[in-house]
Each structure stands twice: as structure tokens, then as C-alpha cells.
A and B are shown apart, each in its own frame.
Chain A
Amino acid sequence: MIEIINVSKKFRIWEDRSRDLKETTINFLRGKKRSFRDLWALQGINLKIKEGETVAFIGENGSGKSTLLKLLAGVYVPDEGKIATQGKISSLLELGVGFHPDLTGEENIYLNGAMLGFDSDDMRERFGEIVSFAEIGDFIYSPIRTYSSGMLMRLGFSVAMCVDPGILLIDEVLAVGDEAFQKKCLKRLEEFKSAGKTIIIVSHALDLIRKFCERVILLQDGKVIIDGAADRTIDKYHAILSNKERPGDLDEIVEIEKANYAQRVSKISMSEEKGESKKIKEKEEIEEIEEKEEREEKGEDEGKVPQKPKYERYGTFEAEIVDVVLKSEKGEETNMFNSGERMSVCLKIRFHRDVEDPIIGFYIRKYEGSQPLDIYGTNTRWKNIELGSFGKGEEIEVKFLQTIPIPKGTYYIVVAIANSDETRFYDWHENIKTFTIKNEDRLWTGIINLTSQILISRCS
């Protein structure tokens, strides 16, 4: 068991730091002060990891995930709070710690084992296993400077995989090696897992994490953002990630982000209907996930409780869809339509960067349970409209006009703007609007009214 209680860790960032006695003395004599700022890599982390759990820390670079792992490994010491662990921790932060090129594979195995906290007797017992796992044969008695990089990596990994830790900490080392060996290691880790070892991984290999870990913890800016079941956390992370993949100037991004957030919140309160509020705020979403997980833990089947489709937003935000309005034939804003009526989808777009020939489109979508079904979608490219170029700060309005010959029900609108070859989405709002087709007296059947003409003639 590992208990992380209110742990914070700061790093000291020096401005043109001197590492010299000479320079330091000169600076001191000149009265130049050493200046630094504190960077809090982790703040107020509280986590409890039970024995036998397989946990992954994920997050962007600089989110603090590796720092947290290093704190658990005892490499770093927390500035605040404390970490209590039970069980022998074996940390695999790097492969082949202490390997020396001039020593033989055998000697390095013992050395590496000692680094990981296993004594010579332990290592002697496992020596045969390690050598066969590493698949390096007689090379084991040659200095490792004669090894290929693949062999070296396999040797390092084998030591780590063959020792017997209670708690195993792994940092990003899983992604190395050829596929066959990687599979072998994964199999090994599965064995550890079923043997009830606690395994904590830091990695960017999300697919691997999804397969292997039960619990995934997302860190951002040194804080735990989401802590929950693997699938949920990773899906959410993907959503956040596509929001963050924006090139350029950070301040601008932060500002856009703030504006978005405010706008989103106000939109939510506006589009509340029938007492069913759409929880779109991130925090609430997290709570929702947590609630859901609690339900899952209680053994409730997910499939039986249909989820209300969620509002999601991705994009690079080089251009932004700042407003979406649905209007009736008369130009009034509404979300109630009759089947076959004309509806216009009006978008307001703001450009934050010079953009050329963007593609703007929308979908009408309905849900069968939790399965989305796109009824119709179009975009400016399919309609052969070249939009030309737009400058930073420019705003445009785009209006999609169409009849909606669709049956009674609730529908959702997805709007998006992408670059000219649709390789990058500037902004993608999933389920940003909802509307209802309300007319009861339907004189056709199916999912779309094809407005058939019926011709009858008597055969003579």
C-alpha cells in the first residue's frame, strides 16, 4: 500500500546560474544577486494506492507525473506532505542502472540487482532466468561494450523483470525494444499483476496503459485532474489533449481558453431544458465520471443506463466557432421545428491566426441509446465553396440553410471548422446544440422524408 498525503514538490529554477566557484565569487563581489524562482511541480497530491493495484500516471510533459513517480521511488524528497509505503519498492526509472561497459553481462547483472535493492544471493538464484529471458546466450560472459544496443536493452529489462518486487515503479521504459520482446515483457507484467503486485507506470503509451492498467490518474500542472478507471480517464485525456495541441503563443491560448470556458458555461445555462441541465463544465464532468465509476463499482451495468450525449470540444483553436444559433424560417432563434420545415444553422467564426481556405461544416445527429447516428452532414468543400483567406482577428458568419424532412425526435448539432485539407481541426463542437422535431401527424415513415411524388396510371 502506498499513501501519498498532501505531497508537494518544488523545483528551483535558476536564472543564469553559475556552477563555478570563480563565477560565483565574481558575481558576489559585483553585488550581483543569485536569482531563482520556485516551480511547483506537484501540489497537494493525495492518493491512496492499494496493494495489487495497477495504476498509470498520465499527462503531458511537465505535468508532474514523472516527478510523482520519482517521489515514490525515493529519488526525490517531497517539500511538503509525506509518502508512506509498505512493501519493497523496486524502481525501474531507467534501464540498466549502474551498468559499466567494461564489465561482463554477468557482473553487470549483480551490480544492477544491487542497485535495485537485491543482494547477491537473490541475484544468484535468478541469474539463469535473467540470462534466458534476455536471450543473449554466451555473450553474458563478455563485456557489455561488445553488446548491440538491443542486447543491452534486453539485459537491463530482464534484470528488472526477473527480480521480485512488492511494488514496481516503471517510467516510460515499456515502449522500448522489438515487438516480440515487448510482448514478452508485457506478459511478465501480467504475471506480476495476477500475482498481486502493485504496479505503477508512467507512460505516454496510452493503448498499452488502457490494456494493462485498471486505474489511470491524469495529472496536469502538478495536480490530479482525473483519477478513475482506465478507459474513462484516457478518453477524457484524449479530449483535453486535442484542446491543447495548439501551436504558438501561450498567453493567447490561455486567454482563448478562459473566454471559451466562460462562454461554455453561459451557453449551458441558456440551453437548459426540461430541468435536465447539461453538465458541461469540466469539473462537473469529472464528478460525473466519478459518480459513474462508483456505480460501476457497485456492479451496475453501464449499458442499462443510457448516457445523455455529451458536449465535447476539440481543436487547435487557430479559428474558433464562437457562436451557434438555430433559426426558423422566420429568422427566429428556436430549437423546436416541424418536420419538413426550413432550418438555418448560423455559425459565427473568429480567426486567431491567418487561415486559408478553411472548411466549415455541420452534422445533424441523433442517438440510439448511446450510439450516435449521423442523419446528415455537409460542408463548404462538398458544396464547392472556396472561402479564401482570413486574417487574424477577422470574424465571419456562415449560414447553412436547409429543409429538415426528418421524423419526430431529439437531434444534436455538430459543427466544425478545419484546415483546407481537413488534416487539422481548428475547432470541433460535438453536440453543441439540440433541437426537437415536434409535429405529431406524420404522414410518412422512416428516418427521412424523401418527399416522394406518386404517379398512378391505369394499364390498358
Chain B
Amino acid sequence: MKSIEMFKYGDLIKNLVSRDFKTRYKRSYLGILWSLLNPLFMIVVYTLAFDYIMKIRVKNFPMFFMCGFLPWSYFSSAVMVSLSSFSDSGYLIKAVSFPREIIPLSIVFSALLHFLITFVFVFPLLIFYGYLPQGAYLILPVIVLLQTLFIFGLGLFFSSIHVYFRDLRYILDVILMAWFWLTPIAYPMSLIPGEYLFFYKLNPMTLFVTAYREVLLNGVLLMPKFWMAILLVTAGSLILGYLPFLRIRKRLAEEI
């Protein structure tokens, strides 16, 4: 019922996202260009380190890395910014009534917008490296949507807990760093010893990163089993997020 109500607040979400978006670039000279250059720069650095120096045997490392890194950036930046979103929006929560999950949701949407913008160079680069557009690309919006829901769930989880534990940022920093290296972003799954492979597959981000790669690099539609797993982790994340959120929702205005 609550989530149906949220559609009435589409305008509010739109305004919050555009506020976030506009204010982020208003005062920087490079503006939106920076959010394109930053991931490109990262791709160059990781290519140098992993492809040229450490010589990880992956075909077209820059593209391989890009397809994992961009979804990862979307995930990690959205969760990181959501974290203190309730705590930082005290003035809003205390002054007007609206479904409170809109606050982390609009942050996730804002990060999504940044993610989508990067596709401006993703597709040309793919073509440049010889990956021509495939029919499988049509499934991309579904993957993006599911990943967005997955991120929203975690964002809701962390932002709800952050209301009580303001030092969560340091812990989340460590978690995200570990998570990054435990997800096959800068290296392929094939390097992982067989006995640990099962644990790797438990990592939801492995699923998403693999999904993007399969579609963008191989033009492969994923197996139903894979989709089931993605749906499962997405649902799990939403449940994980709503559990603490529903507990504090009513008292949010007082606890902040």
C-alpha cells in the first residue's frame, strides 16, 4: 500500500533527484564531464595495473573491467550516499510528511542517472573494441532495474541503521572495499580456485557484474537459473532494507 502511495510522489522524487543532480554540478567547472572522465581514468589506471603490470589474462581487459566497474560504481556510490540520507534530511522529515523511503530512493535514482550517462561512452568504446550491438542488449533495462531495486534495498537498510549508529560510515567503507575485491571486477572468475567458487556465487554483485558482461560482451541472454538468483537477491535486499526501515519509520522524525 505504501509503495503504491509513492507513485503520487513522483513529482517530489523528480524534484529531489534533479536537485541532487543540479547542485552537484552547479559549482564545478568541468561539470558533468567530470563524471564521465572519472570512470574513464579509472579504466586506464586499472588497465595499466592489471593488464600491463600484473598481466591478468583477459581478452580486452579495458572492456572487461569497464563492464564490471561501472555497475559497481553505481552500487557503491549509491549505497555510500544513501547511508546518511535520513540523518542528513532531518529538516525535511521534521517539516513535511511523505513516504520516507523517498529520501534514499531519490539518491539511488540520482546515482542511476550518473550510471546511465556513462553509457554515452560505453557503447562507442564497445564498438571501438569490436563488440557490435546485439539483440541481447534489449534485456539491459531489466538488469538495470533489478540492480536499482537491489541497491535501494541496501540503501534503505544502511540509512535506517545509520539513524542509530552514526559511525557506520567507517564500517561501510571497509565493507565496500572488501566487497569490491571479492567481486570479480578487476579479475575474471576463472582465476578463483574451485573450492571457493560457490562462495563467490553467493555474492549478489558477482551476479550483476556477470549479467552486464554476458549481455554487453557476449550478447548472451542469461539462463533462467541465473535470473532466479538475481530476483532472489533483489527481493532479499528489499526485505533486508524494509525490516529496519519499517521499525523506525514512525519514529523517524523524532529520532533524527
Q: Mark A residues whose CB is within 8 Å of B.
A: 11-12, 19-22, 24, 70, 73-77, 89, 91, 93-94, 97-98, 100, 102-103, 107, 110-111, 114-117, 119-120, 143
Whether the Cβ atoms of A114 and B12 lie closer than 8 Å is: yes
Q: Is B142 part of the binding interface, using a Cβ–Cβ cutoff of 8 Å?
A: no
Whether the Cβ atoms of A76 and B253 lie closer than 8 Å is: yes
Residue numbers in A under 8 Å from B27 (CB-CB): 102
Whether the Cβ atoms of A91 and B167 lie closer than 8 Å is: no
Whether the Cβ atoms of A119 and B166 lie closer than 8 Å is: no
A18 to B22, CA, bound (A): 36
Residue numbers in B under 8 Å from A24 (CB-CB): 164-165
Whether the Cβ atoms of A73 and B97 lie closer than 8 Å is: yes
Residue numbers in A under 8 Å from B94 (CB-CB): 70, 75, 93-94
Interface residues of B in 14-73 (CB under 8 A from A): 14-16, 19, 22-23, 26-27
Q: Tell me whether A120 and B11 are in contact in the complex, defined as CB-CB below 8 angstroms, given that A24-B165, A70-B253, A97-B95 are known contacts.
A: yes
Q: Is B93 part of the binding interface, using a Cβ–Cβ cutoff of 8 Å?
A: yes
SS of B interface (majority): helix
Q: Is B4 part of the binding interface, using a Cβ–Cβ cutoff of 8 Å?
A: no
Given contacts A97-B91, A102-B26, 10 further A-B contacts (CB under 8 A): A20-B165, A77-B251, A93-B94, A111-B19, A114-B12, A114-B14, A115-B95, A116-B96, A119-B11, A120-B14
Q: Is B254 part of the binding interface, using a Cβ–Cβ cutoff of 8 Å?
A: yes
Q: Is B250 part of the binding interface, using a Cβ–Cβ cutoff of 8 Å?
A: yes
Q: Tell me whether A94 and B91 are in contact in the complex, defined as CB-CB below 8 angstroms, given that A74-B97, A102-B27, A114-B11 are known contacts.
A: yes
Whether the Cβ atoms of B26 and A98 lie closer than 8 Å is: no
* Residue among B15, B22, B165 having the largest count of chain A Cβ atoms under 10 Å: B15
Whether the Cβ atoms of B253 and A114 lie closer than 8 Å is: no
Minimum distance in angstroms from A67 CB to a CB of chain B: 10
User: What is the chain A residue whose CB lies nearest that of B249?
Assistant: A77
User: What is the chain B residue whose CB lies nearest that of A41?
Assistant: B254
Q: Is B168 part of the binding interface, using a Cβ–Cβ cutoff of 8 Å?
A: yes
Which residue of B12, B15, B93, B166 contacts A19 across the interface (Cβ within 8 Å)? Answer: B166
11 contacts between A and B (CB under 8 A): A19-B165, A20-B166, A75-B253, A91-B95, A93-B95, A97-B95, A102-B23, A103-B26, A115-B95, A119-B11, A120-B15
Q: Tell me whether A21 and B167 are in contact in the complex, defined as CB-CB below 8 angstroms, given that A77-B250, A143-B26 are known contacts.
A: yes
Minimum distance in angstroms from A123 CB to a CB of chain B: 9
A262 to B206, CA, bound (A): 76
Residue numbers in B under 8 Å from A19 (CB-CB): 164-167
Whether the Cβ atoms of B26 and A115 lie closer than 8 Å is: no
Which residue of A20, A22, A110, A115 contacts B96 across the interface (Cβ within 8 Å)? Answer: A115
A75 to B91, CA, bound (A): 11
Residue numbers in A under 8 Å from B250 (CB-CB): 77
Residue numbers in A under 8 Å from B165 (CB-CB): 19-21, 24
Which residue of B19, B97, B98, B166 contacts A100 across the interface (Cβ within 8 Å)? Answer: B19
Whether the Cβ atoms of A97 and B15 lie closer than 8 Å is: no
Whether the Cβ atoms of A111 and B15 lie closer than 8 Å is: yes
Residue numbers in A under 8 Å from B23 (CB-CB): 100, 102-103
Number of B residues whose C-beta is below 8 Å from A? 28
Interface residues of B in 91-107 (CB under 8 A from A): 91-98
Residue numbers in B under 8 Å from A73 (CB-CB): 96-97
User: What is the chain A residue whose CB lies nearest that of B20?
Assistant: A100
Q: Is B120 part of the binding interface, using a Cβ–Cβ cutoff of 8 Å?
A: no
A65 to B51, CA, bound (A): 66
Residue numbers in B under 8 Å from A76 (CB-CB): 253-254
A103 to B22, CA, bound (A): 8
A210 to B69, CA, bound (A): 64
Whether the Cβ atoms of A103 and B19 lie closer than 8 Å is: yes
User: What is the chain A residue whose CB lies nearest that of B163?
Assistant: A19
Residue numbers in B under 8 Å from A11 (CB-CB): 254
Q: Is B171 part of the binding interface, using a Cβ–Cβ cutoff of 8 Å?
A: yes
Residue numbers in A under 8 Å from B16 (CB-CB): 98, 111, 114
User: What is the chain A residue whose CB lies nearest that of B168?
Assistant: A21
A103 to B165, CA, bound (A): 31
Whether the Cβ atoms of A75 and B22 lie closer than 8 Å is: no
Residue numbers in A under 8 Å from B26 (CB-CB): 102-103, 143
Q: Tell me whether A75 and B93 are in contact in the complex, defined as CB-CB below 8 angstroms, given that A110-B15, A115-B12, A119-B11 are known contacts.
A: yes
Whether the Cβ atoms of B171 and A21 lie closer than 8 Å is: yes
Residue numbers in B under 8 Å from A103 (CB-CB): 19, 22-23, 26
Whether the Cβ atoms of B93 and A98 lie closer than 8 Å is: no
Minimum distance in angstroms from A116 CB to a CB of chain B: 7
* Residue among B19, B93, B94, B168 having the largest count of chain A Cβ atoms under 10 Å: B19
Residue numbers in A under 8 Å from B22 (CB-CB): 102-103, 107
A103 to B27, CA, bound (A): 10
A270 to B239, CA, bound (A): 69
Which 8 pairs from chain A and chain B are nearest by CB?
A74-B97, A21-B165, A114-B15, A77-B250, A119-B11, A94-B95, A114-B12, A97-B95
User: What is the chain A residue whose CB lies nearest that of B250?
Assistant: A77
Which residue of B92, B166, B251 contacts A97 across the interface (Cβ within 8 Å)? Answer: B92
User: What is the chain B residue whose CB lies nearest that of A95?
Assistant: B95
Contact with A along B142-169 (1 / 0, CB 8 A): 0000000000000000000000111110
Residue numbers in A under 8 Å from B251 (CB-CB): 12, 77
Minimum distance in angstroms from A117 CB to a CB of chain B: 8
A98 to B94, CA, bound (A): 11
Q: Tell me whether A93 and B96 are in contact in the complex, defined as CB-CB below 8 angstroms, given that A19-B165, A21-B165, A115-B12 are known contacts.
A: yes
A119 to B10, CA, bound (A): 9
* Residue among A74, A89, A97, A114 having the largest count of chain B Cβ atoms under 10 Å: A114
